[in-house]
Amino acid sequence: MSRKQALLKRHRRNKRVALLVALVVLLLVGVLVAWWLPLVLAVLGWVAHEAWFSDHLFYAPSDDYQYRLPAQNEVAGVSVQGDRLLVDQLPPLSGDETLILALRIKSSWLGRFFDPSVELIGGDLHDSQAFERSVKGLRYLNLTGLGAALTANELRIRGRRCSIQGEPRLWSFAHPDARRQRVMVIAPHADDAELAAFGLYSQADESWIVTLTAGEIEAEHYQQMGMGPAEAARTKGRLRAWDSITVPRWAGVPESRCFQLGYFCLQLPAMQAAPDQPIASREADLSDTRLFRQFNTLTLPGDADGAPTWNNLIADLRALLLEARPEVLVMPHATIDPHPDHICSQAAVLEALQGLAWQPSVILGYANHLHDNDRWPMGDVYSGVALPPVFDPAQELVPYSIELDTERQRDKAMALGMMHDLQPPAPLKRRIRRWLQKKLAGRHWPAEGENEFFRKAVRRHELFWRKEI
């Protein structure tokens, strides 16, 4: 069982216990006070849960994030005076540096019911980075793009529904610009490349997109059109295969540099466990990957027999790495992103690189999912991306962030809108929850799309974790 699954299991167990206790209390109230009162309290309790307590947050808001950022990148002499962030001796900035600010944040009483945030104002730029309700601990803001205001000591900072406490710490990372290099994005599923790296791959000198699975499962939306389960899964897989090839064209990436490998969703762990054994689709009644590879412009080793095996996957990746010769590899970060297909995608790429004649110079890891917080990045669309919760200081993490202007953020939103998996309407329960949160908790959702990923991914920043090879 993965850590994410264990956390969900514990959350559901605790929720069942809480519901049982609440039921006993309501029964006692009905017996001792009035028969109708439990009904009113039950409705009010459900409304309160949906508005304020339905976030999947598997840690206490008072827990400190525990990052170990490189000491050589820390900037000395940082302070907050009034509403200004001041730096005594900031190193020269070119404008593309990744800037990370550590702050202790304490929620006000309003921040228990409305999302607390830290506002950053520099020149014409006004950013807001949100945190957990009832936050009280160490958090890390992303100041990338605010270097000019910081250099001029004109960067204003203030808490909204929270206060800033203690002395801040600042890190500056001057990385080579990945946008001026040849980039290959590894996407476990169609839309992962767009969610994590549309801004990066749309600006790179040369971009390649490699999608590992067809993402054919959970095809209930297509079953509602009258298809049987297997036909619906195959249709969904074909549509997502098409998306993985064609949507990057919106960003200027030709179809000849986009590849769909057609392996089956959530089957990569089983393939890795038995490298020679074909692992069929869970729902599509299919054991041949070639149905989902028909839009590729290059013949790959796995096309010979279409067998969904780990060995074929490794051979496909090796062929594409030699063909593209990427300088920058962008792929899931296996210790931050818990999705099993994302973990196995990273493992497959690292295995494919072993002994290969071509080696990239750097890996950029991304996280489209988290273990601990299903709402991250918190806050609204078009706002900045603060660092996610991390509670393991054992590994040194090196952040790399790029800034997206408003036009590119909108292009990213349109690219996500083309993805078939992000198009179905939200379930009724989720729409009711959002309405309650809008009215009672002040939350907003973007007009660009109903899916939660529109709020999460269409942001001022794209955030990666850099590792040199």
User: Which domain CATH number covers 272?
Assistant: 3.40.50.10320
Q: Are residues 83 and 223 in the same domain?
A: no
In this structure, of 38-47, 123-132, 185-194, 219-228, the range with the lowest mean pLDDT score is 38-47
pLDDT at position 3, please? 63
pLDDT at position 17, please? 77
The pLDDT tens digits of the residues spanning 197-235 come to 999 999 999 999 999 999 999 999 999 999 999 999 999
pLDDT at position 171, please? 97
What span, in angstroms and rounded, lies between the C-alpha atoms of 310 and 288? 13
Please say whether the beta carbons of 460 and 127 come within 8 A: yes
pLDDT at position 348, please? 98
Of 158, 168, 167, 108, nearest to 129 by C-alpha is: 158
Please give the residue range of the domain that contains residue 432. Answer: 178-468
In this structure, of 337-341, 392-396, 400-404, the range with the lowest mean pLDDT score is 392-396
| The pLDDT of residue 11 is above 80 | no
pLDDT at position 30, please? 76
pLDDT at position 7, please? 65
Strands 98-107 vs 162-173: parallel, antiparallel or unpaired: antiparallel
Q: Are residues 266 and 383 in the same domain?
A: yes
pLDDT at position 459, please? 98
Average model confidence (pLDDT) for the chain? 94
From 106, 138, 173, the end of a domain falls on: 173
Q: Are residues 372 and 235 in the same domain?
A: yes
Helix (H) / strand (E) element for 6: namely: helix 3-32
What span, in angstroms and rounded, lies between the C-alpha atoms of 351 and 364? 16
Helix (H) / strand (E) element for 232: namely: helix 229-246
Q: Are residues 316 and 367 in the same domain?
A: yes
| The pLDDT of residue 114 is above 60 | yes
Instruction: Establish if 63 belongs to a structural domain.
Output: no
In this structure, of 283-287, 323-327, 369-373, 461-465, the range with the lowest mean pLDDT score is 369-373
- Can you read off the two tokens belonging to residue 286? 């299919």
Q: Are residues 153 and 223 in the same domain?
A: no
Q: Are residues 43 and 78 in the same domain?
A: no
Give the pTM. Answer: 0.93
What span, in angstroms and rounded, lies between the C-alpha atoms of 377 and 462? 11
Q: Are residues 150 and 34 in the same domain?
A: no
Instruction: Establish if 345 belongs to a structural domain.
Output: yes
Q: How far is CA 4 from the centre of its chain?
A: 15
The pLDDT tens digits of the residues spanning 55-113 come to 988 899 999 999 999 999 999 999 999 999 999 888 888 889 999 999 999 999 999 99
Instruction: Establish if 203 belongs to a structural domain.
Output: yes
| The pLDDT of residue 157 is above 60 | yes
| The pLDDT of residue 12 is above 80 | no
Instruction: Establish if 59 belongs to a structural domain.
Output: no
Q: Are residues 297 and 330 in the same domain?
A: yes
From 173, 202, 233, the end of a domain falls on: 173
Q: Are residues 311 and 184 in the same domain?
A: yes
Tell me how many domains the chain contains.
3
Share of the chain above pLDDT 70, in %: 98
| The pLDDT of residue 2 is above 90 | no
Region 230-257: mean pLDDT is 98
Locate tokens 């069942």: which residue? 16
Query: Which has the higher per-residue pLDDT, 88 or 139?
Result: 139
Region 169-188: mean pLDDT is 97
Q: How many CB atoms lie within 10 A of CB 26?
A: 16
From 131, 154, 173, the end of a domain falls on: 173
Region 122-126: mean pLDDT is 90
Q: Are residues 445 and 429 in the same domain?
A: yes
Instruction: Establish if 195 belongs to a structural domain.
Output: yes
Instruction: Establish if 66 belongs to a structural domain.
Output: no
Q: Are residues 247 and 295 in the same domain?
A: yes
Instruction: Establish if 325 belongs to a structural domain.
Output: yes
Helix axis angle, 37-52 relative to 3-32, nearest 10°? 150
Instruction: Establish if 274 belongs to a structural domain.
Output: yes
Q: Are residues 323 and 415 in the same domain?
A: yes
pLDDT band at 401 (very low <50, low <70, confident <90, very high): very high
pLDDT band at 335 (very low <50, low <70, confident <90, very high): very high
The pLDDT tens digits of the residues spanning 324-333 come to 999 999 999 9
Amino acid at 47: V
Query: Which has the higher per-residue pLDDT, 14 or 123?
Result: 123
